[in-house]
Amino acid sequence: MDPTRKRLNWTLTEEESEKLRAEHDKRPTRDLTVEDLDVVFQPLVDLNAGKLQAVEALVRCRW
């Protein structure tokens, strides 16, 4: 891991985790359609070289 990159770690209590799991289980994930999702392509740029290195796809649910 690059030591200059900042990363956050989230820790949930067991109670918080159970609450989120219960909310998640209520959602009808099998009913997803194309209209429910947004796809965005994020360029990954080498700042030293100033060149595009790769592209990653980010998918977000519109719910």
Q: Which residue would you say has higher pLDDT here, 30 or 40?
A: 40
Provide the residue ranges of all domains of the chain, joining segments of one domain with +: 33-63
Residue 15 has pLDDT above 60, yes or no: yes
* Integer Cα distance of 55 and 42 in angstroms: 6
What confidence tier does 29 reach under pLDDT thresholds 50, 70, 90? Answer: low
% the chain with pLDDT above 70 = 90
Per the DSSP assignment, residues forming a β-bridge with 38 are 60
Whether residue 15 contacts residue 23, with contact meaning beta carbons closer than 8 Å, is answered with no
Entry field: residues in the chain: 63
pLDDT value of residue 1? 53
